[in-house]
Structure formats: C-alpha cells, structure tokens
Amino acid sequence: MKLSLNTQTNLKRALLSILIGLLLVGVVLKVSGYRPLECYKALWEGATGLSSGKPVSVSDKGFSVGGWEAHFSTYTFAQTLATFTPLLFCGLAIAIGIRAGLFNIGAQGQMTVGAMAAATVGAIGTNGSLQPVTGTLPPVVHLTLTLLAGVLVGGLWGAIAGVLKAKRGVHEVLSTIMLNYVAINLTNYFATHNLKDPNPSNMAAQTGLIAKSAWLAPLIARSNLTIGVAIAVLSAMGLAFLLWRTAFGYEIRAVGLGAEAARTAGIPLSKILIQTMALSGALAGAAGALEVMGIHHRFVQGTAGDYGFDGIAVALLGSVHPFGIVLSAAFFGALNNGANLMQLQTDAPKTVAVVIQAVIILLVGLRFKPKETPAPTTEKEE
C-alpha cells in the first residue's frame, strides 16, 4: 500500500482542525441540552490541572495572577501526562508504519499482547500469591525483563502482519484488524484460564498481581504517572534519529515513497516491510507493558483502552513526525483526561472526545489539490 498521504500537515491546519472539532462538539452538547461552557471549563480543568479558586486538596498549588486566585492540581496534570505516555507510543508505532507506506491498524492488538507478556514475565517470583510480593529478582533486572517481554511480543505480533504483507501480499489494514480481534480474545482466554487471577472471589478477566520488583512507582502520589513518560519521549527522539540519521531509516522512507522504486534501487523490500511492522508492534507493546507495570500491576481485560486506535489520530495530527507526535499526543492526552473530568462534573458523555478525534482525522486528511496535477511522487508509482 502506497499512502498518498500529505504528511506535511502544517501547524495552522492542525490547530484549525482542533478548533473546529472542539466547536462542533460544543454545538452537539448544546443541542443535547448540556451547558457547553460548563463542559469546556471541566474539559480544560481536567486537561491542564489549572482552575480558578483556592486550592482544594494537598496536591494543589495555589497562586494568584493580579489578585485573581487560581490553583494548579499536580495530580490532574500527572494524570494527563500518564495518558500521554501510551498515546505517544501508539502514535509513534502508527507513524513508523506510515513512513514505510504501511497502515498499521493493529497497535491495539500489539499493545494488548505486549501487556499480557509483561504481566506473565512480571509475575516471576510471585508463586500465585494473593498479596503483593517483593519478588525474587533484583528490581532493575525484573523491570527491564518485563518491559522487554512487552516489546518483544508486541514486535512479534506486528511482524506477523509484516510477513503476510511481504510474502503473500495481504493488505496490512485487513490483517492487522483481524489480528486485533484475535489478540483481544486470546489474551482474555489466558486471563480467564491458564493465567487467571488466583483470587477465587475474582470474576473479571485478569491475571494475578505481578511482583513488586516489576512495579513502576508513581512520580506524583496516587497518580498513574511513572518514569514511562520519559521512556516514551526518549523513544520519540530515538525514532527521529533512526528515520533521518541511519541507513535503516533511509530505507524505510524510501520504501514509503515508492516500494517498486526502492526495490529497483536494491533495497530489500520484504525485509524492510517486516522489520518496520516489528518495530511498530514493539512500540505498541512497550505501551502495553508500561500500563501493566505502572498502573494495573496485572493484565486486566481492556488494558489497552482505545490507545491503539487513538494512536492513528495522534500520528496524523502530528504530521507523522516524531516531534509533531509528541505535541499531538500531549493534546490528545489532555483531551482524554479532560473528557473524564467533564463526564464526572457535567454528566456529558466522554464519548464526545472520540467525535472530536474523528473530526480532526478527517479535517487533517483533506487535501483539495487541483485534480489535473497530481503530484507524481505521492500519488503514482511511475
């Protein structure tokens, strides 16, 4: 698949898309009988942690601007950053695929199997105990192994679609969607059978707790924010380096610009397709592993949330560039977290965040170039 995707989404268009998306949802909320301004206020407070009035809890930092009292909730902001982390990983996963002309819709499944792998390796040394145990491995070793398990298994799951594409020409959009359903059902099977939570009173599809030696501690008390956020940002920098400063990155981009031309130039097409899908899956797998290590401390059904699909919007809004994706992941992290608070405070369903996301994808994708002059490099093979 050759994507005739305009990767040069400029900042103006991105901001305009966001604005239209937000306004449209305001109209929808108004029509459904909610008070849009109240909703926006809750959305803003949940997104940034900034709100007016005196501090209300210990994690709030009070300040005043020209006599106007306001406070900053470090907890809320930490939650936004915690949501930012998997969004960034998934956005990067989708982006590297698109750079090679591959549309990986399977980040959801890859993240899910990554989470399951991390929960399995993280449970080393627990012996099915119901209480959290310290574990037998040194934390540094155990943390590394657990994260690597997620990366590896996510990568392998992604590589399946790469092999099918390279060897049999199966379109990756269809294969990754099918693999998503398989991944979700398969992990649910394991979470209810072989790797079931040993606690007999538990009825949910989840595994037992992982050992404490594989837990990531929260950076802000009680929040979901862990060191994972730094790993995500480092991955973005690493990916930018890989794409523009290494031979492998050059080959990925060459394949993305024209698979046949790249093959003619002596680039091993099959190998690049498989490796790119593996790398894409590995990034999504890392997101799954970090969710397990930092938040749930076990695999629970739906660990991957909707991050895999959200990643598509993140990548497109971020113009498929690692640094742009850092910004767009921050926006979507804020949006998701804001929508949660909005639902709590105003009862307006947080599903509206999905609508905003969809509107942004569509607006960013519009091109309207003159139809008589298709750009040969982005539109046609020859």
Partner 1 sequence: MGNSWLIALVTSTLFSAVPLVLAAMGGVLSERSGVVNIALEGFMLAGAFVGFYFGLHSVPMGIFAVLITGAILGLLHAFFTQKARMNPVVSGLGLNLLLAGATRYLALRLFPEGGHIDGLSPNLFLGLAILLPFLLLFTLNQTKFGLRLRAVGENPESARMAGIAPHPPRYWAVMLSGICGTTAGAYLSMADAHTFTSDMSAGKGYVALAAVIFGKWNPLGAAGGALFFGFFYALQTQLQINQYHLNALGIEWTSPFLLDCLPYLMTLLALVSVIGRATPPAALSIEED
Sheet holding 60-65, edge to edge: 50-52, 68-73, 60-65
| Interface with partner 1, residue 170, by CB under 8 A | yes
Residue range at the interface with partner 1 (CB under 8 A); choices 76-84, 274-282, 285-293, 358-366: 358-366
Taking the complex as a whole, how short is the minimal distance between the CB of residue 88 and partner 1, in angstroms?
Answer: 19
User: Which residue of 92, 239, 320, 352 would you call a contact of partner 1, by CB under 8 A?
Assistant: 352
Instruction: Print the SS3 string covering 83-103.
Output: HHHHHHHHHHHHHHHHHCCCC
| Dist. CA 98–CA 104, nearest whole Å | 8
Tell me, rounded to whole angstroms, the distance of Cα 4 from its chain centroid. 23
Quick note: the x/- pattern for partner 1 over 78-117, rule CB under 8 A, is -----------------------x-x-x------------
Between 131 and 351, name the residue whose CB sits nearer to partner 1. Answer: 351
Residues 6+ apart with CB under 8 A from 279: 96, 155, 158
In the structure encoding, which two tokens stand for residue 140, read together? 């540094």
In the structure encoding, which two tokens stand for residue 146, read together? 């657990």
Residue range at the interface with partner 1 (CB under 8 A); choices 39-47, 49-57, 122-130, 311-319: 311-319
Taking the complex as a whole, how short is the minimal distance between the CB of residue 124 and partner 1, in angstroms?
Answer: 21
Between 17 and 74, name the residue whose CB sits nearer to partner 1. Answer: 17
User: Which residue of 8, 134, 185, 246 would you call a contact of partner 1, by CB under 8 A?
Assistant: 185
| Dist. CA 138–CA 214, nearest whole Å | 9
- Whole-number Cα distances in Å, 291 to 155, 240, 288: 17, 24, 5
Taking the complex as a whole, how short is the minimal distance between the CB of residue 1 and partner 1, in angstroms?
Answer: 5
Segment holding 190, helix H or strand E: helix 172-192
| Dist. CA 317–CA 329, nearest whole Å | 9
Q: Which amino acid is at 85?
A: T
What is the three-class DSSP state of 352? helix
In the structure encoding, which two tokens stand for residue 221, read together? 């008390």
In the structure encoding, which two tokens stand for residue 180, read together? 């998503």
Between 131 and 194, name the residue whose CB sits nearer to partner 1. Answer: 194
Between 242 and 273, name the residue whose CB sits nearer to partner 1. Answer: 273
| Interface with partner 1, residue 260, by CB under 8 A | yes
Cα 74–Cα 80–Cα 81 angle in degrees, nearest 5? 85
Between 65 and 372, name the residue whose CB sits nearer to partner 1. Answer: 372
Between 101 and 281, name the residue whose CB sits nearer to partner 1. Answer: 101
**Per residue in 52-78, is it b (16+ CB within 10 Å) or e — as a string?**
eeebeeebbeeeeeeeeebbbbbbbbb
Taking the complex as a whole, how short is the minimal distance between the CB of residue 359 and partner 1, in angstroms?
Answer: 7
In the structure encoding, which two tokens stand for residue 190, read together? 């394991």
| Interface with partner 1, residue 173, by CB under 8 A | yes
Between 242 and 342, name the residue whose CB sits nearer to partner 1. Answer: 342
| Interface with partner 1, residue 362, by CB under 8 A | yes
Interactions with partner 1, residue window 11-40 (CB under 8 A): 28, 32
| Dist. CA 101–CA 80, nearest whole Å | 31
| Interface with partner 1, residue 267, by CB under 8 A | no
What is the three-class DSSP state of 63? strand
Between 24 and 327, name the residue whose CB sits nearer to partner 1. Answer: 24
Taking the complex as a whole, how short is the minimal distance between the CB of residue 94 and partner 1, in angstroms?
Answer: 10
Taking the complex as a whole, how short is the minimal distance between the CB of residue 3 and partner 1, in angstroms?
Answer: 6
- Whole-number Cα distances in Å, 102 to 7, 173, 220, 278, 364: 13, 8, 38, 12, 18
Between 51 and 319, name the residue whose CB sits nearer to partner 1. Answer: 319
Parallel, antiparallel, or unpaired for β 60-65 and 68-73?
A: antiparallel
Residue range at the interface with partner 1 (CB under 8 A); choices 76-84, 114-122, 222-230, 352-360: 352-360
| Interface with partner 1, residue 145, by CB under 8 A | no
Interactions with partner 1, residue window 115-134 (CB under 8 A): none
| Contact residues for partner 1, defined by CB under 8 A | 1-5, 28, 32, 101, 103, 105, 164, 168-171, 173-175, 177-179, 181-182, 185-186, 188-189, 192-194, 259-260, 309, 312-313, 316, 349, 351-352, 354-355, 357-359, 361-362, 365-369, 371, 379-381
